[in-house]
């Protein structure tokens, strides 16, 4: 892929941890690589050899990054959503990204660099869109009470709501 392509790419502003973050993320996601890192030379303004900018790919999506200093830390206003096939994927991404970071609610976790991620099982999307309104509402309420999303608990809540509204 050419660096001058017309593709939209997220660009992440790190204080001075771009290389460490790129290694962390590429160690978690499949089909990932550090594509390039540009380093300062003797002319600065950074220390010679320190990383200025770079690009890395996470599961096929290219990210650009810069070490821009502490002026603009990450906030939850921007997050990356990871859709998972099953509970084992949810657990893997949650545990990996939470390592050194901070767990939040409703499937959100902030990694050790302060970047926010949403770890979401595909089953959640199915349950909250259930054509039976009581099931959808129960799954939504269950999710709102969770930190890490647990598929079995979502399904149990939806099934209980359906059973409670079934005549007989």
User: Which residue is associated with the tokens 């050899």?
Assistant: 49
Q: Residue 73: its pLDDT value, please?
A: 96
The CATH superfamily assigned to 1-72 is: 2,3-Dihydroxybiphenyl 1,2-Dioxygenase, domain 1 (3.10.180.10)
Q: List the chain domain ranges.
A: 1-72, 74-168
Write the pLDDT tens digit of every residue in 112-160: 999 999 999 999 999 999 999 999 999 999 999 999 999 999 999 999 9
Strands 61-67 and 11-14: parallel
Report helix, strand or coil for 31: coil
The CATH superfamily assigned to 74-168 is: 2,3-Dihydroxybiphenyl 1,2-Dioxygenase, domain 1 (3.10.180.10)
Q: Residue 96: its pLDDT value, please?
A: 98
Question: Same CATH fold, 74-168 and 1-72?
Answer: yes
Strands 108-110 and 102-103: antiparallel
Find out whether 108 and 53 touch, Cβ atoms under 8 Å. no
**Nearest residue to 102 (alpha-carbon basis) of 92, 90, 113:** 113
Write the pLDDT tens digit of every residue in 10-35: 999 999 999 999 999 999 999 999 99
pLDDT band at 168 (very low <50, low <70, confident <90, very high): low
* pTM for this prediction: 0.91
Write the pLDDT tens digit of every residue in 90-106: 999 999 999 999 999 99
Find out whether 127 and 160 touch, Cβ atoms under 8 Å. no
Residues 6+ apart with CB under 8 A from 66: 11, 12, 13, 14, 18, 52, 53
Write the pLDDT tens digit of every residue in 22-68: 999 999 999 999 999 999 999 888 899 999 999 999 999 999 999 99
Q: Residue 44: its pLDDT value, please?
A: 80
Q: Residue 108: its pLDDT value, please?
A: 98
Q: Residue 1: its pLDDT value, please?
A: 47
């Amino acid at each position: 892929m050419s660096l001058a392509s017309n593709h939209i790419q997220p660009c992440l502003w790190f204080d001075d941890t771009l290389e460490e973050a790129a290694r962390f993320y590429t160690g978690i996601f499949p089909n990932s690589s550090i594509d390039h890192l540009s380093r300062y030379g003797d002319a600065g303004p950074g220390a010679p050899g320190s990383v200025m900018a770079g690009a890395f790919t996470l599961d096929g999506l290219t990210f650009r990054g810069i070490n821009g200093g502490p002026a603009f830390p990450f906030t939850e206003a921007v997050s990356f959503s990871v859709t998972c096939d099953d509970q084992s994927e949810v657990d893997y991404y949650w545990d990996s990204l939470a390592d050194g970071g901070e767990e939040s609610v409703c499937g959100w976790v902030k990694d050790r660099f302060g970047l926010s991620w949403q770890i979401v099982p595909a089953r959640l999307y199915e349950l909250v869109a259930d054509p039976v309104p009581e099931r959808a509402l129960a799954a939504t309420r269950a999710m709102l009470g969770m930190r890490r999303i647990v598929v079995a608990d979502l399904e149990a809540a939806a099934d209980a709501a359906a059973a409670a509204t079934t005549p007989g």
